[in-house]
Structure 1
Amino acid sequence: MTGADKVFAGNIPAIYQRYMVPMIFDPYAQDLAGRLAVLRPGRVLEMAAGTGVVTRAIAEKLPETEIVATDLNQPMLDTAAELQRGQGKVTFRQADALALPFEDKSFDTVVCQFGVMFFPDKHQGYREAFRVLRPSGAYIFSVWDRISTNEFITVVNAALAARFSDDPPKFMERTPHGYHDVDAIAAAVREAGFSKVSVETVDKVSRANSALDAATGYCQGNPFRNEIEARAPGELQSITEAVASALAEQFGHGPIEGRIRAHVITATR
């Protein structure tokens, strides 16, 4: 992972929240919150909370559960705190998932939706989750499957590869969709000390109000934007519109939808 992969600054958090969250993150946030509702933990640690889509989903289903939502990126947390509006028992705290500022065995459950892929040392992330979990506690996290099983980003990636044929941007392939070997993931989690690990592949439907909305989210609402702007300064909007045309050609005009696929891992301490 490069340093640019971790940059969610400027207006990226707002665009991410407006377009990316409802399009691809909310369906899995609801799924994760449903899993926690079965466990009914008293105290939850969320890592890589971003703009808080999972935080809000858990707080809605489990209003009496104490949630400590953390992220390395303060602008994302600021957006999450603003959106939370005092609902549930939630504390937001900037924290590094590889060096958590919490005592051993202090949480019933740890969750992390689509954040592990960004950790520069994933094994250390697993060890930290294990450390802060109470006995028999669960660590539930999700990772995206390969790009080819996620329809919108497949088209977006192809359109950008055609536009920058000599040096296509690789952020999506390298980071969000670059950590999907479930056997290797499960082995690393067990190595961290977890006694039981299960993996479930979960298909959902991604929806956007328009092809332009989807293109805006992918091209402007995450670090993909940094790679596009580095290759074509001043052309971000025109490139976004070209990507929107490719999406419209594939999925139609007006509201669009496509398949998304992720792996949900549950590890028990």
Structure 2
Amino acid sequence: MAEFENPNHWDIAAQHYEKTAHPFTERFAEAALTRVALTPDCRVLDVAAGTGALALLAARTGAKVLATDFSSGMIARIAARNMLNVEARVMDGQALTLEDASFDAAFSIFGVIMFPDWRKGLAEMARVTRPGGHGVIATWREHGAATFLLLGQIRRKLFPDREGMTMPEAVKALSEPADFARELIAAGYRDPRIESVTHDYMLDLTALNEPASVFGMSPDWISLDQTEKDAVIAEVWQMAGESAFLPISSTALIGVARR
């Protein structure tokens, strides 16, 4: 089992994820929400919600939101927000224990793409979306984003003969708009629109004093010895030059389709 497929991994990482990844993924969640008009009458599902970047923003529209994730640690972070119109439940996105056609919109922001059976995850989203409702899925381009993208680039430069991290299958399968659109149709959606959204992840160089806080979740980091890790840190400093922050341009594809 890959580490990102293990709920225990995410239980442990939840607090760190909320602090470091949530603010960045929230920017893409905002972009996803602009593509669907939600009202207080809507029922919204967030699949593989993480710490709730999408769910919490959707709740501000007044919609009734159900956030699901297979990690109890992630769900606990959402529940701790105590938002009256957000319910958070531990649930396997590959087998949602939800009724057919019970949501006006189903979202997954960099969530379903992590599933071992991601096609089943997409089909489950479509199953619980009402006819005429929307499914919205965000995926990274093939090499990922933020510090994962940066670390992969540096590894390929410094250690070209070393095998790097294997990205989730869906990231590669959905990294081209035409392929993404076909998979949404195969899942049970129609009229897919795929759009590219890019934001810079601003890496604070002071965080390199504790590099595990920057790269620690990545197999590309933990597989390095100390000398190699030191070389990676030196490369980051060189790339940043005199700046206190290093921008890492990260591109996602957001797919929107009707049921």
Q: TM-score range by the shorter chain?
A: 0.7 to 0.9
Aligned counterparts of 1:215 and 1:197: Cα–Cα separation in 2: 40
Name the residue aligned to 2:236: 247
Q: Residues 217 and 140 of structure 1: is their aligned pair in 2 closer, same or farther, counting only changes over 3 Å? A: farther
Aligned counterparts of 2:178 and 2:75: Cα–Cα separation in 1: 32
Aligned counterparts of 1:11 and 1:127: Cα–Cα separation in 2: 29
Name the residue aligned to 1:30: 30
Structure with more contact order per residue of length (Cα contacts < 8 Å, sep ≥ 6)? 1
Aligned counterparts of 2:187 and 2:159: Cα–Cα separation in 1: 40
- 1:209 counterpart = 2:209: no
Shift of 1:177: 4.5
Aligned counterparts of 1:30 and 1:88: Cα–Cα separation in 2: 20
Selected match of 2:183 from 185, 188, 200: 188
Aligned counterparts of 1:17 and 1:169: Cα–Cα separation in 2: 26
Name the residue aligned to 2:165: 170
Superposition CA RMSD, Å: 2.8
Shift of 1:175: 5.4
Selected match of 2:100 from 81, 98, 104: 104
Secondary structure at 1:48 match in 2: coil
Aligned counterparts of 1:217 and 1:25: Cα–Cα separation in 2: 17
> In structure 2, what residue type is equivalent to 1:16?
Y
TM-score (norm 1): 0.81
Q: Residues 116 and 208 of structure 1: is their aligned pair in 2 closer, same or farther, counting only changes over 3 Å? A: same
Q: 1:75-86 to 2 correspondence within 5 Å?
A: 75-82=73-80, 84=81, 86=82
Deviates more, 1:118-127 or 1:211-220: 211-220
Aligned counterparts of 1:217 and 1:57: Cα–Cα separation in 2: 26
Secondary structure at 2:15 match in 1: helix
Name the residue aligned to 1:3: 2
Aligned counterparts of 2:99 and 2:146: Cα–Cα separation in 1: 41
- 1:117 counterpart = 2:116: no
- 1:229 counterpart = 2:226: no
Any unmatched runs of 5+ in structure 2? none
> In structure 1, what residue type is equivalent to 2:249?
R
Aligned counterparts of 1:241 and 1:10: Cα–Cα separation in 2: 29
Aligned counterparts of 2:204 and 2:221: Cα–Cα separation in 1: 23
Q: Residues 112 and 157 of structure 1: is their aligned pair in 2 closer, same or farther, counting only changes over 3 Å? A: same
Secondary structure at 2:21 match in 1: helix
* Identical positions, percent: 22
Shift of 1:193: 2.3
Aligned counterparts of 2:154 and 2:117: Cα–Cα separation in 1: 31
Selected match of 1:262 from 228, 252, 258: 252
